[in-house]
Structure 1
Amino acid sequence: MHKRSRKNFMSVKAKLDRICINEAMLVKDALKQMDREGQKTLLITGPNRLLLGAITDGVIRRWILGDGSLPAPVASAMTANPLSCPLHVQTDEIRKIMLKTHIECIPLIDESGAVKDAFLWYEIFSTEKPAEQFKIPVVIMAGGMGTRLHPFTKILPKPLIPINEKAIIEIIIEKFTRHGCRDFFLSVNYKAAMIRAYFNDIAHDYSIEYVHEEQPLGTAGSLALLSDKLNGSFFVSNCDIIIEADYADILKRHREDKNIITVISSLKHYRIPYGIMQMAEGGRLEGISEKPEYDFFVNTGMYLLEKDALGLLPAGKPFLMTDLINDCLAKKMRVGIYPVSDASWIDVGQWEELQNALTRFGIK
């Protein structure tokens, strides 16, 4: 076994404290720890850090979509006997394994099976894990007035809100180009000329076609103007959100489930800071819950659609994406969700969330 200095030992201990969890931890709490620590993989360990399994954000996603319970212990959802390596393994060997398997965390175990260290992707490689490539169109809804960000948006359209020296819409586009998308449609109305001028002034290796709304058409209405240009699957995104996810996996799940629409949803946790009373008829108190906690999946404003959904849109009339979804459900068409964690969704559509986004990007 290789020797470690006290300094290195402490750093290893700190790392293992971040990525090792007890088998009794709840799935929803494991997801929160992933968000808190910025890790996509956690190791489930027993006494003396005996390796029992591993759980990733993808495993949790499949658990949720398979009707698994968020309050269930991680032992119910984990992958047992995960890939591990002996302590004496060389870094070059770890690099080869990670490139072949795309596993982002490989534990190092001793003869008893106890975790003594772990290699993480970012420790081995200086770049992000390569994104799987695909090419489908992307529609970005950029025509809104951004009233929740007044007075800022009285001057600047919401898609051009700067984050870390780039406009939010450029960051959104880069998330898709990383996966190989090159064809973008921007639905514009409010201060459309400023948006056009922005993209005319920057170098880019993707195509942009503008769809001008003569009147505000809501979050889905302008898609009817693209019915002759969109075929098969395509993404739709609001212009004030950033989704950190594997877009290729979203597309894969969408097609496997044969969804007409997939809604990318974020898990939100709310804690009511008061005692909640249950009232019965006549003002009788049935019970009281002290500071209850709730988990919800909420709509992020990003979707994956099939062209057939466009046939339900009224031509030239305002229409909301939620109305399109409800119409699909009413016609027994399959609508699915793709869950992401709370930290994977950055919303800049209102002042408080914009400030949070700036903080996450290290600007404040």
Structure 2
Amino acid sequence: MNIDNLKIKKEVNIREAMKKLDAGAKGILFVVSKDDELIGTLTDGDFRRWILKNGNMEESVENVMNKNPIYLMEGDVNSADEVMLEKSITAVPIINLNRNILDVKFLNKNVLIENKNRTLQDIPIVIMAGGLGTRLYPYTKILPKPLIPIGDTPIIERIIDKFCLYGGKDFYLTVNYKKNMIKSYFNELDKEYFINYVEEDKPLGTGGSLSLLKGKIDKTFFVSNCDILIEADYESILKHHKEKGYKVTVVSSVKNFQIPYGVFKLNESGNINEIVEKPVYTFLINTGMYVIEPEVLNDIPEGKFYNLPDIVEEYMNSGVPVGVYPISEQSWMDMGQISEMKEMVEKIENKEKNNN
């Protein structure tokens, strides 16, 4: 491992730091001074808190970093796992007397999973699997969208596997189009989780199909579209939702869009005041994953086509706070269209290659 790939100077802006965090795929960056001294750390949690404060993405990482990082001296390497478990962190730098980073120890993945694999054991998980998948035609003329393989595994099975890492066992699949193929697939699968099928007589949308779950779910639950993969800490998402007391929390991806031209800014007289070359704008995008309280089901109309953003908008208009849990741009993969599906396959294959 090249430690330099995990270092970042304090002058770098927050947007660029998020990109570097994604690229490093280790979940942490170490902020260093011009003399290469450790002065802080950056994790997705630090970025998330900044985004939720509506912070400026052009500010330097010095404004968002943890200025009191946990570290070990070079003679204390053997206590790394113990310290990480005690402090609930996944990485710890090893430094010398000059605060230069000599090495980085990471918590063993199996230990990490073992600590989290009970988080969702009592949490229902609803996966919207009833859509026609028209944007993926002609693939969906043969297979329902949930069974389209990403690599050698159907997308819906990959979604379920992600939840299972956190102890998820209680799944509800809303089905309609080619529902018998979906049922047949899971009937043949050797699995350690339970699937309940929620059958639509007609397309009801991502919100309308939830109305069929009234009386069946009486606790906080997750909802996921069947064409997305979220690389995030599901325990942290649930904890954020509970601590804030939201009825609905939307998992949202930071998305950067660059304008490929020089952009003019005008003054009050209509004259050019400033030229910004190829500016980058940052937005929060709905990923299609939610955490929802059971009473929300009572606010969804029955037998009517209705999407989940509709209930979000109704709550906002009536003054009910709706939560958001930001994740990085690379933590969200979508296969809603053929071009996006191919990109997802490529990302998954590269990740699995790097893990082997």
Check conservation: 1:22, 1:45, Cα contact below 8 A.
yes
Shift of 1:66: 3.2
Residues in 2 aligned to 1:145 and 1:252: alpha-carbon distance in whole angstroms: 33
Separation (CA, whole Å) in 1 of partners of 2:152 and 2:69:
41
Alignment partner, residue 89 of structure 2: 103
Aligned residues: 347
- Could you tell me how far 1:99 is from its partner in structure 2? 2.9
The normalised TM-score by structure 2 is 0.92
Task: Tell me the distance in 2 between the aligned counterparts of 1:17 and 1:128.
Answer: 26
1:318 equivalent in structure 2: 305
Query: What amino acid is aligned across from residue 116 of structure 1 in structure 2?
Result: L
- Superposed, which structure 2 residues align to 1:46-61 within 5 Å? 46-61=33-48
Equivalent residue for 1:360? 347
Structure 2: how far apart are the matches of 1:281 and 1:42?
A: 43
Q: How does 1:170-319 map to 2 (within 5 A)?
A: 170-277=157-264, 288-319=275-306
Q: Say whether the 8 Å CA contact 1:312–1:327 is kept in structure 2.
A: no
SS at structure 2 position matched to 1:361: helix
Deviation at 1:280, TM superposition (A): 9.8
Counterpart of 2:318 in structure 1: which amino acid? K
Cα gap change, 1:246/1:111 in structure 2, threshold over 3 Å: closer, same or farther?
Answer: same
Residues in 1 aligned to 2:46 and 2:202: alpha-carbon distance in whole angstroms: 44
Q: How many Å apart are 1:232 and its aligned residue?
A: 2.5
CA displacement at 1:277 relative to structure 2: 4.7
Q: State the SS of the aligned residue for 1:97.
A: helix
Q: Which residue of 1 aligns with 2:5?
A: 18
Q: Report the residue type matching 1:106 in the other structure.
A: V
Aligned-residue CA RMSD in angstroms?
A: 2.2
Amino acid at match of 1:129: L
Counterpart in 1 of 2:146? 159
**Which residue of 115, 136, 141 maps to 2:101?**
115
Checking the alignment, whether the CA contact within 8 Å between 1:60 and 1:77 is kept in structure 2 is yes
The CA distance in 2 between the partners of 1:67 and 1:290, in whole Å, is 24
Read off the aligned partner of 1:244 and give its amino acid letter. E
Gaps spanning 5+ residues in structure 1: where?
Answer: 1-10
Q: Which moved more, 1:104-113 or 1:324-333?
A: 104-113
Q: Which deviates more from structure 2 when the two are superposed, residues 72-81 or residues 299-308?
A: 72-81
From 321, 327, 331, give the equivalent of 1:334: 321
Measured after TM superposition, the shift of residue 339 of structure 1 is 0.3
Contact 1:20 1:44 in 2 (8 A): yes
How far 1:288 moved relative to its partner? 4.8
Q: In the TM superposition, what is the alpha-carbon distance from 1:70 to its structure 2 partner?
A: 2.1
Shift of 1:274: 2.1
Q: Distance in 1 between matches of 2:265 and 2:35?
A: 45
Residue identity over aligned pairs, in percent, reads 41
What is the deviation of 1:296? 0.7
Aligned counterparts of 1:126 and 1:172: Cα–Cα separation in 2: 19
Structure-2 change in CA distance of 1:302 and 1:20 (3 Å): same
Judge conservation of contact 1:258–1:334 (CA < 8 Å) in 2.
no
1:79 aligned counterpart, secondary structure? coil
Quick one: which amino acid aligns to residue 175 of structure 1?
A: K
2:349 match: secondary structure? coil
The residue number in structure 2 matching 1:7 is: none
Partner of 1:127 in structure 2? Answer: 110
Q: 1:85 to 1:279 in 2, by over 3 A?
A: closer
What CA distance in whole angstroms lies between the structure 2 residues aligned with 1:126 and 1:281? 57
Which stretches in structure 2 are left out of the alignment for 5+ residues?
Answer: none
Segment of structure 1 superposing worse, 18-27 or 279-288: 279-288
Equivalent residue letter for 1:248: E
The Cα shift of 1:98 comes to 2.3
For 1:105, give the aligned amino acid. Answer: A
Q: Provide the rounded CA distance (Å) in 1 between the counterparts of 2:72 and 2:183.
A: 53
> For 2:292, what is the secondary structure of its paired residue?
strand
Map 1:81-96 onto structure 2 (within 5 A): 81-90=68-77, 92-96=78-82
CA distance in 1, matches of 2:193, 2:269: 65
CA 1:61/1:128 → structure 2, altered by over 3 Å: closer, same or farther? farther
Cα gap change, 1:86/1:281 in structure 2, threshold over 3 Å: closer, same or farther?
Answer: closer
Q: In the TM superposition, what is the alpha-carbon distance from 1:197 to its structure 2 partner?
A: 0.5
